[in-house]
């Protein structure tokens, strides 16, 4: 059974995230479990996530899921806008809610950190400074 699509392709926050994520070397997009996923060989970011609370899922439709360094993870999770996503949280991923007031430079840094944890050395060597 295929997962239903769980995002609006016309979402302006997704458009901003997509532009940043697809600027990384060899990055591509696919739909995984109903959400946009950005990847090279491995996924480095998802758009949209959820948290399981008392057996029910609370959706975070406008958020980015990234895999960052464990030391940075704890500091991020201390912020109200961050959460441990269902399924991926156990593997070190975090979710960051996005809003119209989101600091996109920070999102770019989070994507960069996640990309560096999942992409190979040759791809990482091809990253150029992006702002």
At a CB cut-off of 8 Å and minimum separation 6, what does 104 contact? Answer: 16, 20
pLDDT at 58: 94
Contact between 78 and 94 under an 8 Å Cβ cutoff? The reply is: no
Torsion of CA 35, 89, 98, 12, to 10 degrees: -10
pLDDT at 2: 79
Q: How many residues in total does the chain contain?
A: 131
pLDDT at 131: 47
Residue ranges per structural domain of the chain: 12-123
Which stretches of 18-110 are assigned E, i.e. beta strand? 28-32, 35-39, 43-53, 56-67, 82-83, 93-97
Q: CA dist 128 to 22, 24, 112, Å?
A: 13, 9, 11
Residue of 98, 67, 101 lying closest to 84 (CA atoms): 67
**Location of structure tokens 């600027």:** 23
pLDDT along the chain (131 residues), means of 10: 88 98 98 96 97 94 97 95 96 97 97 96 85 47
Put simply, whether the predicted model's pTM sits higher than 0.85 gets the answer: yes
Q: Which CATH class is domain 12-123?
A: alpha beta
**Cα(84)–Cα(26) distance, integer angstroms:** 28
Q: CA dist 46 to 10, 18, 67, Å?
A: 16, 10, 10
């Amino acid at each position: 059974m295929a997962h239903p699509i769980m995002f609006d392709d016309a979402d302006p926050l997704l458009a901003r995230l997509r532009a940043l994520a697809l600027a990384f070397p060899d990055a591509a997009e696919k739909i995984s479990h109903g959400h946009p996923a950005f990847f090279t060989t491995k996924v480095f970011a998802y758009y949209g996530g959820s948290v399981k609370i008392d057996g029910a899922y609370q959706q975070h439709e406008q958020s980015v899921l990234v895999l960052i360094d464990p030391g940075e993870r704890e500091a991020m999770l201390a912020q109200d806008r961050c959460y441990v996503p269902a399924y991926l949280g156990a593997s070190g991923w975090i979710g960051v809610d996005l809003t119209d007031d989101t600091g996109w430079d920070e999102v770019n840094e989070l994507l960069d950190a996640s990309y560096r944890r999942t992409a190979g050395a040759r791809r990482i060597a091809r990253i150029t400074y992006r702002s």
